Structure 1
Amino acid sequence: MIDFPDWSYQAAHLVTWFVVATGLVQILLYLVQLSYAGYALHCRPPTTSTAVLWERYADVAPPIAVIAPAYNEELSIIESVEALLALHYTEFEVLVVNDGSKDGTLARLIAHYRLEPVQRYYELAVENRPVRGLYANPAYPRLLVIDKENGGKADAMNAGINVARTPLVCVIDADTLLESDALIRVVRPFVEDPVRTVAVGGTIRIANGCHVENGRVTEARLPRNLLALFQVVEYLRAFLMARLGLSQMQALMIISGAFGLFKRSSAIEVGGFSQNTVGEDMELVVKLHRHLRDRKRDYRISYIPEPVSWTEAPESFASLANQRARWQRGSLETYRKHRDMFLNPRYGRIGFLGFGQVWIVDVIGPIVEIAGYALVPPLWMLGLVSLDHLLAFVAVIFTFGVFISVATLVLEEVQLRRLENAHDLALLTAAAVFENFGYRQLNNLWRVRGWWQFARKKQGWGTMVRKGFQRP
């Protein structure tokens, strides 16, 4: 037995308890979010059929411009646009923003829809790179293609905001497939509370493994790829638990750039999407919170689970690692830019609950957890920490992690019942358990990589390899 000095035992205990305490605080946040999410689902109005929603809102729903930035989306652009043009909504337009693609994205759009150059007046309300041309076809009156110099996703969405002529703008990814009733569902808070509502987010689901025809998910299936299957569990946890819970607490800090509806005037007031971050979706929401609270306005930024969109998840380790590192950089960039809001009484629950979650989960969370894996077991083997400390660490990391994931699945099955058969439920339950043993640790390594990239001030999105949507 090695005889260590007393200070080394004290340091080992301090490190262990800091790791355990951080994990417990994070679990406590998840439990609170889970409770609020369960309450929100329990108290929500009964799910209304599309026909009833159409009858109720068709005459009062405001016009919407759907902005779909596209960069090198040749594989799936036509299917995505077909789905957008087939949306069930009274008055909307689809603005596809070709952000200087290097593949055949623009050529496919022009050829498929027989587009011609057109003129349309618009003001530069927010900053974007020069627009090279607008394309349309009277046979498709809802479609307008904007061709611009490459400037990144935020710049492309700003171009769409400038060209749009509607009071509401819906931002999505070009590879996102919206369900046909997604707009009539996501607009509901704007109809019921038009003065206070400034932004609403919907649910993102994984399309991998699903059958897609004419831009529609015709048969929902679970992915066969294990990485994509784990992401199904992650997305359920992120949307159904975290975002719904935070929305119920009025402390929602992000609306996904893959599917969000914003009041155009409010987006313009805060300067649109920032172009100096890869987390432009989160940063826009934080800017809205700051702007509206500084002016002491009563407002609502909400998430509702019923509107659904589908997206393709990465199926390779390299693509997934780039995505998670990029998400981590985006969170850190937003936190750095607005860190004066953290625990600031001026910003109320946003400063305490919203930024408290960001600090615990995004800022220190991945570093502390990886430090725990690297230090606590070796310290136990060296005799510097007791078995009780090791068991506490294991309980926090694994037991509670499994509980939160499985509880989210139970919440979905009890309240929403979207899983079609018992086999899918059993498979997802198994994925919710086993993701905690290997996949979660990889995720935190990728997030630490994002921390390193953030510290080195790395810019850019990295490479995302897409297979395109599966067809029957």
Structure 2
Amino acid sequence: MSGVVADVLGALNWTVLGYVVVLDAVVLLLVVAAARRVLAHRRWSGTEGHDQLFASPLTPAVSVLVTAHDEEARVLDTLAAALAQRYPAFEVVLVDDGSTDGTFDLVARTYGLVPVTARWSADLPVEGEVLSVHRATTGDPLTVVRKVGVGRPADAVNAALNLARHRLVCTLDAGAVLEPDALLTVVRPFVEDPLDVVAAGGVVRTLNGSRLERGSVLEPGLPKRWLARVQVLEQLRSALLSRAGRTGAHALLADSGAFGLFRRDLLLELGGVDPRSATGTADLVVALHGLLRRTGRPHRMVFVPEPVCWTTVPETWEGLGRRHRRRSQGLGQLLWKHRRMIANPRYGAVGVLTLPALVLLEVLGPAVEVLGLVSVAVAAATGALDRDLAVVLAGFALLVGISLSTTVVAVEEFTSPRRSGRRDLPALLVAGLLRNVGFRQVHAWYRFQGLLLALTRRDGRAERRGLRAEPPRPVGAGTVHGGHPSSRPAPRRT
């Protein structure tokens, strides 16, 4: 092999190593910063202040917007948890976005739905035709919209916004399960700073393997499959620690994916969620940052480091690949759409720090990792790889990655009293090892595929398929696997 080719392969190998080490080192710094914020938050967290918020006339009413497409297996748990919120005034608006299974029929039987004349509160454009609007006859504050699905979840969110009546709106994926005090927990920043706070998010945890009854998580647990356990660790790292760490720099994109709380008037000012977006609320929070910075309005987006929502993760490689290809595709489209904000001081820390970091680590990163793995394989096959040096470098990268995972687990163990840490701790530590050996490399390949899709698909249509995951462990004789409780919780009044 020529010296030039060997030099190129060596440079590629060093590039991928440097990327891995730098990425983990940056995230480790965010973990440390997040740990300080989480510990400070614990001084007033938990149920302290919830009674005052519940009784206060200043606590704003909330419209919970749930979008569902073929969610028969989980929709009753989602609605049971949403309708059982301990909150003074709220409503739930469910949009059945073109489901082909029994999602609507199941909800209709459980809540005695009857058709009603829609009372629209906004006129955002909705591409999929609204077929009918229904109300519950059980005393629950539930409205259900049936519409034609167009393959874009954002279209369903806009349909729900057109019916929402309250000052704050909570976006929630069907299949997600709220904690009983979720709204009280996340609304607190809006009550404390009603002028500047425009959005808030909270910690989303993995539901797989937990004990669930009637939409209530009785005992958090770990899934049986190691692929899902690694994703538990990934969720702790990204959703809790990284976002909490960025809050201090006012560089937060307060989007936890399955759950978010927003000021409704600002969403209407934006024209709703961009229906072409494949990222939904992630695009929404970037657009909010851009709008408020351009118009010179002070604002804050807050991340509350408390578990407020539970959702399932895929337990097969096929499901994992589908999810991360879609997310990476959506991220590429989001960054292209908001490219004028990237590295632009006009947009503050989000423009200067957050968006460039996403480009370097989430867009270029998968390409660097995949290219680096190919170069290592070629160098090994051609004899150009110094095996001793490769072992040392790979061991160093593995050590940094394991240190990051161990730190994440330690912070989680110290700050989350709900998880049975002593029982789950060994499994989480092993998952941290597996994350760096095998999972990370396959994950990079899925993300790389998603970026290629972003270059070829322009309309932002998301693949809509049900999530196959291990069901939570039910308790009680009246609960069936798949989330269909045999009885509903008592009706709530607003």
TM interval, short-chain normalised? over 0.9
Q: Which residue of 2 aligns with 1:461?
A: 463
Q: Which residue of 1 aligns with 2:147?
A: 148
Shift of 1:47: 4.5
Shift of 1:397: 3.9
Structure 1 window deviating more from structure 2 (212-221 vs 137-146): it is 137-146
Structure 1 window deviating more from structure 2 (237-246 vs 323-332): it is 237-246
Q: Which residue of 2 aligns with 1:85?
A: 83
String of CA shifts for 1:267-304, please: whole Å, max 9, x gaps: 11222211212112211111011111111221111211
Structure 1 window deviating more from structure 2 (122-131 vs 280-289): it is 122-131
| CA shift in 2, pair 1:107/1:462, >3 Å | closer
Q: Which residue of 1 aligns with 2:479?
A: none
Q: Which residue of 2 aligns with 1:118?
A: 116
Q: Which residue of 2 aligns with 1:136?
A: 135
In 2, the alpha carbon distance for the partners of 1:421 and 1:379 equals 43
- Where has structure 1 moved over 6 Å in runs of 4 or more? none
Q: Whose RCO is larger (CA < 8 A, sep 6+)? A: 2
Shift of 1:455: 2.3
Say whether residues 1:50 and 2:52 are aligned partners.
no
Say whether residues 1:187 and 2:187 are aligned partners.
yes
Q: Which residue of 2 aligns with 1:15?
A: 12
Shift of 1:395: 4.8
Q: Which residue of 2 aligns with 1:348?
A: 348
SS of match in other structure, 2:109:
helix
Q: Which residue of 2 aligns with 1:28?
A: 25
Q: Is the Cα contact below 8 Å between 2:61 and 2:168 reproduced in 1?
A: yes
String of CA shifts for 1:299-335, please: whole Å, max 9, x gaps: 1112112142111111121111100110111111101
Q: Is the Cα contact below 8 Å between 1:115 and 1:136 reproduced in 2?
A: yes
| CA shift in 2, pair 1:200/1:378, >3 Å | same
In 2, the alpha carbon distance for the partners of 1:469 and 1:61 equals 33
Say whether residues 1:291 and 2:285 are aligned partners.
no
In 1, the alpha carbon distance for the partners of 2:474 and 2:140 equals 27
Q: Which residue of 1 aligns with 2:490?
A: none
Q: TM-score by structure 2 length?
A: 0.90
String of CA shifts for 1:404-441, please: whole Å, max 9, x gaps: 11111111222334431412111111111222111111
Shift of 1:145: 0.9
The amino acid that maps onto 1:76 is R
Shift of 1:266: 1.2
In 2, the alpha carbon distance for the partners of 1:372 and 1:154 equals 36
Shift of 1:381: 6.5
Q: Is the Cα contact below 8 Å between 1:209 and 1:222 reproduced in 2?
A: yes
In 1, the alpha carbon distance for the partners of 2:177 and 2:29 equals 32
In 1, the alpha carbon distance for the partners of 2:185 and 2:422 equals 28
Q: Is the Cα contact below 8 Å between 1:210 and 1:219 reproduced in 2?
A: yes
| CA shift in 2, pair 1:425/1:299, >3 Å | same
Q: Is the Cα contact below 8 Å between 1:366 and 1:447 reproduced in 2?
A: yes
String of CA shifts for 1:136-164, please: whole Å, max 9, x gaps: 13432411111122133111111111110
Q: Is the Cα contact below 8 Å between 1:412 and 1:418 reproduced in 2?
A: no
Q: Which residue of 2 aligns with 1:98?
A: 96
In 2, the alpha carbon distance for the partners of 1:464 and 1:395 equals 39
String of CA shifts for 1:343-363, please: whole Å, max 9, x gaps: 112222112210122012211
Shift of 1:29: 2.4
Q: Which residue of 2 aligns with 1:74?
A: 72
What root-mean-square deviation, in Å, do the aligned CA atoms of Structure 1 and Structure 2 show?
A: 2.1
Aligned ranges 1:386-465 → 2 under 5 Å:
386=386, 390=390, 393-395=393-395, 397-457=397-457, 459-465=461-467
Q: Is the Cα contact below 8 Å between 2:95 and 2:144 reproduced in 1?
A: yes
SS of match in other structure, 1:240:
helix
Unmatched tracts of structure 1, length 5 or more: none
Q: Is the Cα contact below 8 Å between 1:20 and 1:396 reproduced in 2?
A: no
Aligned ranges 1:314-329 → 2 under 5 Å:
314-329=314-329
Structure 1 window deviating more from structure 2 (343-352 vs 159-168): it is 343-352
In 2, the alpha carbon distance for the partners of 1:137 and 1:422 equals 44
Percent same amino acid at aligned positions? 33
- What is the aligned residue count? 469
Q: Is the Cα contact below 8 Å between 2:121 and 2:164 reproduced in 1?
A: no
SS of match in other structure, 1:163:
coil
| CA shift in 2, pair 1:392/1:360, >3 Å | farther
Q: Is the Cα contact below 8 Å between 2:38 and 2:415 reproduced in 1?
A: yes
The amino acid that maps onto 2:147 is K
SS of match in other structure, 1:50:
coil
Q: TM-score by structure 1 length?
A: 0.94
Aligned ranges 1:308-387 → 2 under 5 Å:
308-376=308-376, 378-379=378-379, 382=382, 384=384, 386=386
Unmatched tracts of structure 2, length 5 or more: 476-494
In 2, the alpha carbon distance for the partners of 1:423 and 1:145 equals 41
In 2, the alpha carbon distance for the partners of 1:90 and 1:104 equals 32
| CA shift in 2, pair 1:198/1:209, >3 Å | same
String of CA shifts for 1:85-129, please: whole Å, max 9, x gaps: 111000000111111211111111111111111123214442223
Q: Which residue of 2 aligns with 1:471?
A: 474
In 2, the alpha carbon distance for the partners of 1:191 and 1:389 equals 57
| CA shift in 2, pair 1:71/1:397, >3 Å | same
